[in-house]
Structure 1
Amino acid sequence: MQSALLLLASAGAVSAQLATTSEPSLSQIQQAAATVVPSSPTSNVGGAVFKNFYQVWLENIDYDAAAGDENQKYLASKGITLTNYWAVAHPSEPNYVSAVGGDQFAMDNDDFIQIPANISHVADLLDTKGISWGEYQENTPYPGFQGFNYSNQKTYANDYVRKHNPLIIFDSVASNATRSTRIKNFTSLWDDVANNKLPQWAFITPNMTNDAHDTNITFASVWERGFIEKLENSTDFWNESLILLTFDETEHYPIGNRIFSILLGGAVPKELVGTTDDTFYTHYSTLSTVEANWGLPSLGRWDCGANIFQLVADKVGYTNYKVDTSNLYLNSSFIGPLSTNDYSNYSSVWAAPATGNETCAAGHGILQAVKDTWGKLTPTYNYTSPFPYDTVSGKDIKVSFSRNGTTWISGVNDTKIATTTSGTSPSSTSSTAAATSSGAASVNGVSGGLALALSSFISFAAIL
Structure 2
Amino acid sequence: MKLASIFAASCVLLAAMAQAKPVYNRGPTGPNGVKYVKGRQFDRIFQMVLENHDVWPVHADPWFGEFWKKDNHRLLGNYHAITHVSQPNYINMIAGSDFGDNLYNAVDGNPDAMSNIDILAGSDFPVTFPDSTKTIIDVLEEAGISWRAYAEGYPIRQGCDFDYLPGVPDFVWTEGNHTYTRRHFPFISFPSITSKQERCNNLFNSDQFFEDYKNGELPQYIYYVPNLENDMHDSNTTYGSLYIQKTWSKIFEEEYFNENALNILTFDESANFTLSDMNNQIYTTIWGSGVETKSTWDHIDWAYYNHTSLISTIEDNWTGKIGQLGTNDTFANVISVKQPWTN
Q: Which SS does the other structure have where 1:310 is aligned?
A: coil
State the structure with bigger RCO (CA 8 A, min sep 6), 1 or 2.
2
Aligned counterpart, 2:107: none
Aligned counterpart, 1:128: 142
Note the 1:57-72 alignment, pairs <5 A: 57-72=49-64
Aligned counterpart, 2:128: 114
Identity over aligned residues, as a percent? 30
1:139 aligns with 2:153: yes
Instruction: Note the C-alpha offset of 1:40.
Output: 4.2
Contact 2:292 2:338 in 1 (8 A): no
Aligned counterpart, 1:86: 80
Structure 2 gaps of 5+ residues are 1-29, 103-118, 165-169
User: In structure 2, how many angstroms separate the alpha carbons of the residues matched to 1:293 and 1:220?
Assistant: 31
Q: Which SS does the other structure have where 2:68 is aligned?
A: helix
Structure that is richer in strand per residue = 1
Contact 1:159 1:208 in 2 (8 A): yes
1:268 aligns with 2:260: no
1:47 aligns with 2:35: no
Aligned counterpart, 2:110: none
Contact 1:290 1:296 in 2 (8 A): no
User: In structure 2, how many angstroms separate the alpha carbons of the residues matched to 1:222 and 1:215?
Assistant: 11
User: In structure 1, how many angstroms separate the alpha carbons of the residues matched to 2:93 and 2:134?
Assistant: 12
Specify whether residues 214 and 234 from structure 1 end up closer, same or farther in structure 2 by C-alpha distance, changes over 3 A only. same
**Partner residue of 1:303 out of 312, 329, 336:** 329
User: In structure 1, how many angstroms separate the alpha carbons of the residues matched to 2:303 and 2:260?
Assistant: 23
Contact 1:147 1:162 in 2 (8 A): no
User: In structure 2, how many angstroms separate the alpha carbons of the residues matched to 1:162 and 1:270?
Assistant: 37
Aligned counterpart, 1:224: 244
Instruction: Note the C-alpha offset of 1:43.
Output: 3.7
Note the 1:110-189 alignment, pairs <5 A: 110-142=124-156, 143=158, 144-148=160-164, 149=170, 157-189=177-209
User: In structure 1, how many angstroms separate the alpha carbons of the residues matched to 2:256 and 2:173?
Assistant: 30
User: In structure 1, how many angstroms separate the alpha carbons of the residues matched to 2:45 and 2:59?
Assistant: 23
Contact 1:293 1:312 in 2 (8 A): no
Specify whether residues 295 and 313 from structure 1 end up closer, same or farther in structure 2 by C-alpha distance, changes over 3 A only. farther
1:93-134 deviations in Å (ceiling 9; x for gaps): 000000100111011242212222201010100111110111
Contact 1:125 1:296 in 2 (8 A): no
Aligned counterpart, 2:312: 288
Contact 1:139 1:150 in 2 (8 A): no
Contact 2:143 2:319 in 1 (8 A): no
User: In structure 2, how many angstroms separate the alpha carbons of the residues matched to 1:99 and 1:233?
Assistant: 25
Instruction: Note the C-alpha offset of 1:158.
Output: 2.7
User: In structure 2, how many angstroms separate the alpha carbons of the residues matched to 1:199 and 1:233?
Assistant: 18
Q: Which SS does the other structure have where 1:246 is aligned?
A: strand
Q: Which SS does the other structure have where 1:311 is aligned?
A: coil
Contact 1:146 1:162 in 2 (8 A): no
Aligned counterpart, 1:421: none
Q: Which SS does the other structure have where 2:334 is aligned?
A: coil
Contact 1:43 1:131 in 2 (8 A): no
Instruction: Note the C-alpha offset of 1:271.
Output: 2.1
Aligned counterpart, 1:103: 97
**What TM-score, normalized by structure 1, do the two folds share?**
0.56
Note the 1:328-347 alignment, pairs <5 A: none
Contact 1:241 1:266 in 2 (8 A): yes
Larger displacement relative to structure 2 (260-269 or 208-217)? 260-269
Q: Which SS does the other structure have where 1:250 is aligned?
A: coil
Instruction: Note the C-alpha offset of 1:310.
Output: 2.3
Specify whether residues 233 and 85 from structure 1 end up closer, same or farther in structure 2 by C-alpha distance, changes over 3 A only. closer
**What TM-score, normalized by structure 2, do the two folds share?**
0.75
User: In structure 2, how many angstroms separate the alpha carbons of the residues matched to 1:188 and 1:107?
Assistant: 31
Contact 2:152 2:225 in 1 (8 A): yes
